[in-house]
Every structure is written in C-alpha cells, then in structure tokens.
Amino acid sequence: MELCIIGSGYVGLVSGACFAEVGHTVICVDNDPRKVQSLQAGKIPIYEPGLEDLVHRNVGAKRLRFTQSIEEGVDASQVVFIAVPTPPQADGSVDLSFIERVAREIAGVLKDDYRVIVDKSTVPVKTGEKVADTIKRYNKSGCEFDVVSNPEFLREGCAVADLMNPDRVVIGSSSDRALALMKKVYEPFMAPILVTDINSAELIKHAANSFLALKISYANALSAICEASGADIEKVVDGIGADKRIGRHFLNAGLGYGGSCFPKDIAAFIAITDHLGMPFNLLKEVQRINADQKARFLKSIRDALWVLQDKKIAVWGLTFKPDTDDVRNSVPIDIVNELLKEGAQVSAYDPKGMEKAAELKLIEGARLAESPLDAVEGAEALIIATEWKEFAAVDLAEVKARMHTPLVFDGRNLFDPATMRGLGFTYRGIGRGRAA
C-alpha cells in the first residue's frame, strides 16, 4: 500500500520505517527542513536501536522517502497518518494546535480518490470528531475521507521491536471502508487487532499510559515504606509481580517516571477527566508520589553531603531511560539542575544523551565527561540516574579508586547493595531498607 506519515519524529519515523520494512511504500513528511535534509542525506536524527539499518535498507529498496511537502505525501497515499507533537499547556491540557494545523493542511490538498486520515498522535477523547469537522470545513474538493484513531504504544529504546511485534493494534473507526484499508496496512504484522469506536481508541491510549504510571508510582510509594521499615523493595516487588494478575513489569522503584510521554499524558488525562466533570483524583496522587520520589532522593543526597556548594558530584545517565538519546522531560536532567542550583560541581556522562542535552542547553554549567570513569574523577558522590547496561559493566574497583569519597546514590537500583558494600562503597539504593 502507499502510506504517508506526517511528522517524522520518534513515532513517525520509526512507524514509517517499519511500514516500509513489511512491504508498504512510505513517504514521511516533516516541516522541519533540517530534519528532512538530514534524512534525505541518510543521517538519522534520533537514536533508536536498529533504526538506522532499517531506514537505510528501505530507502535503498525505494520503499521509504522523505519530503517537506504534505501535498506530495497526501497525493501519493491511500492512508495518511498524523504523528505530530501534542505537547502540554501550562494547565496540563493538551495543545492541539499541531493536529489542527495538519488537519487544515491535509484538507487543503485532498483531492480525487477516497483517503483514510489516521491519528497516531496521543490526543484527548473526541479529537477525531474535531479533525473530521476541520477537514470537512476546509476541503473544497469534496474528496471523500474517513478519520480513524490508531494510537501508538511503542516504547522509546525498543521502538522498532515494539512496532514490528505489537501486543495489539487498536483501530478506532465506524467506517467499514476505512477499517478494511487499516486491516490491510497491519496485516503483515500478524498482531491482534482490536477494533473500537474512535472515542474508545483515543481513551485507551491515555488510560494505558496512566495505568503504567500508576504502577510505577505504586512501586515508588512502596519504596518509601521499605526505607522506613527496613524491607527491601526489590524483594517486595518480585513477590508482588510473581502474581500473574499483577505482573512484574513497571513495578521498578526508582527516581520516578519522566520522558516525553508519561508526565504529559497523565496531566492530560487529569485535565480531560476534569473537563468531563469526572475528576480522576487517583491520578493526582500518582503525580504527587512521582514528584515526592525525586524530592526524597535529593534530600538523601543533602543529608549525606550536607552543603552541596562546590561538592564534586558525578552523574551517570541523562536520558529518561536507557537505549535512547531522548532527554526531554528527563528526571536525571532535573536532578543535575537541582545540584547545579545548589552550587555543586557536576560531572555527567551518558552513552547517547549528551549531544542532545548540550544542543538543547539543558544542563548548562555541568561538565560533560568522556566516560563513566572520567565522570567520577575526584567525585565525592556518584549518582546513578539512568540504568544503562554500560554502567553495570564498569570496573567498580577503578571507580572507587578514582573517587574522592566512595559514596554511591543508586537511583535505579542497578547494583547489589551487598556487593557494593563488599567493594568498600557507602551505598544508598531506592527502598532498600535503612541499611541501604
């Protein structure tokens, strides 16, 4: 099939490459000229495992190309996906101006044959109706079309694997004609397809992300209870997660959730439910626990180091999770900035996130180290902020030798407390009893 994806970021680019990989012909559109030029030159603007090969292979096979022109994309395609940003506004509600603009632009170039317009961005329930109204209002050609909701569930860091092998594909539509085409798009993935009305599909995405955030906050709230009672959170979540009704995924205590999706999607769902007159207060508590987790971690650093002014602190990890270069809304970045604000000398290292952190000027004043060992040189404390596998493989004896004081705050419970103490570190994990 001929497909167009409008917005070639984490979702649009990876989806486009995966659709091409299964045999569709895909044209990815973006209004950022630098991004399109870079993609046309074979340079991939984001890091995602397996993505570079996938893009190069499909560009080479002439199944994938890039343009700035929505008209070129829409003209060439039966199905047009929208994957543009839906950022939060100050009150937590979603800024839908990107979606509205794209809907108008599509309307301006729709002509001739029937098209399916698919919303893949994360949007509030009832947005599909607004998109359909907008296209109807601005389209002068009378071209037939349907609007479909097809929320995306990929996880950054394993986006290619998630898209090639999804747990489920949600398609919200009341049009048999649109459904038939959407099923053809997804047929090669051999994944379970869940067909719903548009409103339910839109709601599924916010409800799913909110539930995952709730699981994380549940584990984090338990971690505080473990610290107060001397229990070990790792044992506790293993014990809970072994119950198939609960599951072990997303029950890891740490520094709290961050990134470009969870904080904004939970805030959005709260705003949506407030607007519907059905306030989802449980989610406000999820947000509170998340903020508290970061505050407790910073307090434990202050408790140990007292005044932070001029203290040398190493931070391993800047991205919001491992295997990505995404530093948007990253808890590690917040932590670095809190330390800088109190006058600490921060030396940070991240395997993939330093370029974007520097480009976006997110941690001005911190030194960007060349390696994990370079970061800990002379440090009075080491903070593990992202659980990159690379960090677990560093020679810990060398780390200790290079540090001024062997004090480790493990914000991701990457290391085993007994091993760390055995090596001579003063080790503080998350929720690992008083002694930890």
The catalytic site residues sit at 261
- How far apart are the C-alpha atoms of 371 and 27, rounded to whole Å? 39
User: Shortest distance, CB of residue 85 to ligand NAD, whole angstroms?
Assistant: 5
Residue closer to ligand NAD by CB (options 262, 391) is 262
Residue closer to ligand NAD by CB (options 214, 298) is 214
User: Shortest distance, CB of residue 27 to ligand NAD, whole angstroms?
Assistant: 12
- How far apart are the C-alpha atoms of 327 and 109, rounded to whole Å? 35
Q: Which residues contact 281 (CB under 8 A, 6 or more apart)?
A: none
Q: Which residues contact 184 (CB under 8 A, 6 or more apart)?
A: 1
Residue closer to ligand NAD by CB (options 326, 380) is 326
Q: Which of 377, 303, 302 is nearest to 346 (CA)?
A: 377
Residue closer to ligand NAD by CB (options 178, 261) is 261
User: Shortest distance, CB of residue 301 to ligand NAD, whole angstroms?
Assistant: 29
First vs last Cα of the chain: how many Å apart?
A: 56
Instruction: Decide: 147 and 128 in contact? Cβ < 8 Å.
Output: yes
Residue closer to ligand NAD by CB (options 24, 206) is 206
Q: Name the site residues for ligand NAD (rule: CB under 6 A).
A: 6-12, 29-32, 35, 83-86, 98, 101-102, 121-122, 152, 154, 156, 260-261
CB closest to ligand NAD, residue no: 9
User: Shortest distance, CB of residue 393 to ligand NAD, whole angstroms?
Assistant: 26
* Residue 219 token pair: 């584990």
User: Shortest distance, CB of residue 267 to ligand NAD, whole angstroms?
Assistant: 12
Query: What b-and-e string marks burial along 194-209, b requiring 16 or more CB atoms within 10 Å of the CB?
Result: eebebbebbbbbbeeb
User: Shortest distance, CB of residue 46 to ligand NAD, whole angstroms?
Assistant: 7
Residue closer to ligand NAD by CB (options 80, 335) is 80
Q: Edge-to-edge strand order for the sheet containing 193-196?
A: 64-67, 25-29, 2-6, 79-82, 115-119, 145-149, 169-172, 193-196
